[in-house]
Structure 1
Amino acid sequence: MQRLSPLDALFLHRDSPDAPRQIASLVLLEPGQRPLDYDSLVRVITDRLDLVPRYRQLPRHVPGGVGLPVWVDDEHFDITLHVRRSALPRPGTMDALHELVGRLIARRLDHDRPLWELYLIEGLEDGKSALLFKAHQALVDGSHTVDLAQVLLEETDEIRDLPHDEWAPRPSPAGTKLTLSSLLGQVEHPRELIANATYRTEQVLSALPVPAGDAGMTGPLAAPLSRHRRFATASASLDDLRRVRDEHGGTVNDVILAVVAGGLRGWLLTRAEPVSAATSFRALVPMSVKLKGAEDDSLPTSLGSRVRGNLLSLPVGETNAVVRLHQVSYALKGHRETGDAVSAQTLADLPGFATSTFHAVGARVAEHEASRQYQLVVTNVPGPQESVYMAGQRLAQVFPAIPLTGRRTVAIGITTYRGRAYVGIVADREAVPDVDVLAQCIEEAVDELVETVSSRRRAPRGRQRPERKAGG
């Protein structure tokens, strides 16, 4: 019986209809010789749930709140309640897919069942299908539990047969046993007492009318959240981003963040928002750092590194795209020069397709550091540049969906895969009805930077470079 950490317990406490604490990933699959069907998908997932036992568990609160909640087996676990199917109306356009994803990511997960869902979405144009993964922030911590998508991925289209034991749930402990165990644990281990006290304090603070860190937040990226979401996507050639890096310096990550700044600038101008030379947005950008030891134990861990939130002022008011890039690169120079930064190449070469787990950990960092008064979360995770497969189907595109919290009405996630950078944008449906315009402006910001590259030809839009590695 394992207890939730204070942070995970707080995720559960803060989960609400207008701010569900769940991370999502949208995966588009290429049509294969063997179309993916629902029954096959259920079988593949069932075989791999042994690798992530937390996906058959649910959180149970200790009576009287005398201790942190604990993970217990779901005695009535039914995988068909978690693996679901949906279909788009013809002709199955990306706009229709965006609309469906926006509705699905807005729905809270049921706390009386294991905290995840997976949707098989059929009926996309060109014979494609899609998978939408949803997992609660309390579920995927990058250390004890990784994202389900990671254990489903393969390097070939052959579905491996894994050893599989028939699962039987362990009986849930009685309430009195949970209470006594919690009290005894706090007596024997003072750290548990401190952890529970911290959790109780955070519960009180999170119940305040204005969440910590949100006071005074105004502007186009700040508003009370509704219960509904919009979702939009954009993409760019990784070769184009590398050309910009080679021409102007910095890293691909710098270029991507400068593109986000340029996209936000263009979006504000379409809205006739006031934009001056001093206009900027404070973005929290989670970045991996090397494991150092006990002094870094407060940082969330993911796959061999720790993840720290870096505050970055996005220079939205700067009119010159190259100057914007130099300002971003200079602001992040300190992070690179510490010697603790983990390179994009190192992350991309990790076994498996770890991007979904890193995005989940990045969202945890953003929630953990909400008091730093940032206006926007931007997660950027490099993935493999060779093809990977899921349930026998090759992945075509991968878009992260980062949750909204506090009064932050937009969250942006970027994943690089097979020669392209894929951008997923989550927005509050009422506050940002024009999120599709923001996605278009981000692609136009890429074009703006590419046009500054001298004596180089731009890679054709949409062209894949499967054998190239993601570089920093």
Structure 2
Amino acid sequence: MAQEHLDPLTAQDARLLAREDACVHMLIGSVATFEGPAPEIGALREHIRQRLRVVPRYRQRPAFPPAGLGMPRWVDDPNFNLDYHVRHAALPAPGDGAKLQRMVARLFSQSLDRTKPLWELYVVEGLRADDGGRDRWALISKTHLALVDGADGIDLLTVMFDLDAESGAPARGRVPAHDAWQPRPLPTTAQLAAAALEDRAREAAELPRQTLTALSDPARLATGVLQTAGSLLSSVRPAAAAPLDEPIGPHRRFVTIPARLSEFRVIKDALDATVNDVVLATVAGGLRHWLHQRGARTAGVELYAAVPVSIRVGTEHEGFASQLTQVVAPLPVDLGDAAARVRLIRDAMRGVKRSAGALDADLIAGMDNFAPPTILAQASRLGAPPDSYSLAITNIPGPQSARFVLGRRLETIAPVGFLDEGRPLTVSVMSYAGSVHFGLLADYDALPDITEIAVGIEASLEELLQQVGAVEPDNVASRSRSPKRPVRA
């Protein structure tokens, strides 16, 4: 999709900007770690500069018409400075995983400057392996949700990665030979007002035709109703007042949890479930542990998660396509048996998948391109009714072959979601090259004990592996103390 100067924001993008305040930051991103020493910052900026043509929105900022006349518009930033957006940072020694996670939390506690393009990228040096081994470096991506717009939006991170260490072939598209970008002049206040009035006149003229088109195509109308509803399970059981129904402040905590994709596949095969079912069950186990650590009872507690799934839309004549939508899944924190939690979630999700024509999670991102950041943005835009869920859980299948930046291999990547009003916790999960990383973002004051959720997720995964016979009981404790698992903030 072309991203042109003076494009109006979509209604959804404008709502995302309008909903943002001192406490709600409409930000998503990731924290990635790489092998070897960090590249020279100038070389990385040039690498990014060459690929900005693929994502022109990253050199544009929103411009607002006077008196709220109409939609804001994307305009070229005449003062665009790549040095401002691609920043250099270093961790204090010893640069461990806990310090990196605290840096992520601090960065995602700060809103983006709306007078500039709505993204920042941090090159972080001084990161050491948790066993005190070789130096590594990290890349923290921070992007406003409005910047990756719609199903055709592309995140900058998607085009930054290469398929191999030598050729520099990007994961999506071709490296432009030359970047001759020149910003177009900023519109005046009068021009913005006139453009808004033209948009309103055009919308009024097109409304009758759009109505007739919808009424003459019942299948398309049904798809629109499904999109508007947002949640396929929200009417089953509304979420009662729960421990995760709290106001949020401006500050954040962030924790990552590593695991192996093979572990989830062993469990899902043994229990006739999906990887996503196992992910949801391990999060439920983590929340159960957290509640018990707080001295709370879990009997009778009902928690639900807003979960994106891919559904099949279209007709046999026109061809089918996949589209993300939101469902609400139970998180049975009242069940003490980990396998029973998987089975309950499996049965609940099977029903909604059959009714909606949902695809397996592996097909959401079953392509060779590095699309997980884009999928996270699209999933974060979906909305279930606020009183139908306790937290959002997004499971993003990524590529299983290695990716590179300037010849440095990507080792791990953990997603960072966003907190909505009254939702002090969000869980984002991403798989890559045989690994799985959970990213837990929480409100600083509401969840000072977020580490207990991480401990519970790890324990729940270990219990499931033991129940399906993947590990011996005597090996569970030693696996939990494995040096491969980073110290958490």
Place the TM-score, normalised by the shorter chain, in its bin: 0.7 to 0.9
Moved more, 179-188 or 345-354: 345-354
Match of 1:429 among 407, 423, 444: 444
What is residue 15 of structure 2 aligned with on the other side?
Answer: 10
Task: Give 1:186's aligned amino acid.
Answer: R
SS of match in other structure, 2:325: strand
Per the TM alignment, residue 90 of structure 1 is displaced from its structure 2 partner at its CA by 0.7
What is residue 313 of structure 1 aligned with on the other side?
Answer: 330
Structure 2: distance between partners of 1:327 and 1:238 = 22
What is residue 205 of structure 1 aligned with on the other side?
Answer: none
Task: Give percent identity, aligned residues only.
Answer: 35
Q: TM-score, normalised by structure 2?
A: 0.83
Per the TM alignment, residue 188 of structure 1 is displaced from its structure 2 partner at its CA by 2.6
Distance 1:2 1:144, change over 3 A: farther
Per the TM alignment, residue 146 of structure 1 is displaced from its structure 2 partner at its CA by 1.2
**C-alpha offsets along residues 301-346 of structure 1, whole Å, 9 cap, x if unaligned?**
xxx6321110112101111111111000001002332473233333
Per the TM alignment, residue 386 of structure 1 is displaced from its structure 2 partner at its CA by 1.4
Distance 1:115 1:455, change over 3 A: closer
Match of 1:384 among 377, 393, 399: 399
Per the TM alignment, residue 456 of structure 1 is displaced from its structure 2 partner at its CA by 6.7
Structure 2: distance between partners of 1:37 and 1:253 = 39
Q: How many residues align?
A: 429
Contact 1:142 1:357 in 2 (8 A): no
What is residue 264 of structure 1 aligned with on the other side?
Answer: 287
The alignment yields a C-alpha RMSD, in angstroms, of: 2.4
Contact 1:54 1:145 in 2 (8 A): no
Structure 1: distance between partners of 2:97 and 2:393 = 23
Structure 2: distance between partners of 1:283 and 1:216 = 9
Which stretches in structure 1 are left out of the alignment for 5+ residues?
Answer: 195-214, 294-303, 465-472
What is residue 169 of structure 1 aligned with on the other side?
Answer: 183
Contact 2:242 2:303 in 1 (8 A): no
What is residue 153 of structure 1 aligned with on the other side?
Answer: 161
SS of match in other structure, 2:364: helix
Moved more, 332-341 or 118-127: 332-341
SS of match in other structure, 1:316: coil
**C-alpha offsets along residues 149-195 of structure 1, whole Å, 9 cap, x if unaligned?**
1011111013345322311001122211221221122113228899x
**C-alpha offsets along residues 74-104 of structure 1, whole Å, 9 cap, x if unaligned?**
0111111111111111110111111111001
Match of 2:151 among 120, 143, 146: 143
SS of match in other structure, 2:117: coil
What is residue 180 of structure 1 aligned with on the other side?
Answer: 194
Per the TM alignment, residue 348 of structure 1 is displaced from its structure 2 partner at its CA by 3.9
Match of 2:95 among 68, 92, 95: 92
Task: Give 1:248's aligned amino acid.
Answer: L
Structure 1: distance between partners of 2:362 and 2:329 = 22
What is residue 289 of structure 1 aligned with on the other side?
Answer: 311
Match of 1:134 among 136, 142, 147: 142
What is residue 54 of structure 2 aligned with on the other side?
Answer: 51
Moved more, 219-228 or 9-18: 219-228
Which stretches in structure 2 are left out of the alignment for 5+ residues?
Answer: 1-5, 129-133, 170-174, 209-237, 316-320, 485-489
Moved more, 245-254 or 405-414: 245-254
Q: Does 2:117 correspond to 1:114? A: yes
Contact 1:153 1:352 in 2 (8 A): no
Per the TM alignment, residue 128 of structure 1 is displaced from its structure 2 partner at its CA by 0.8
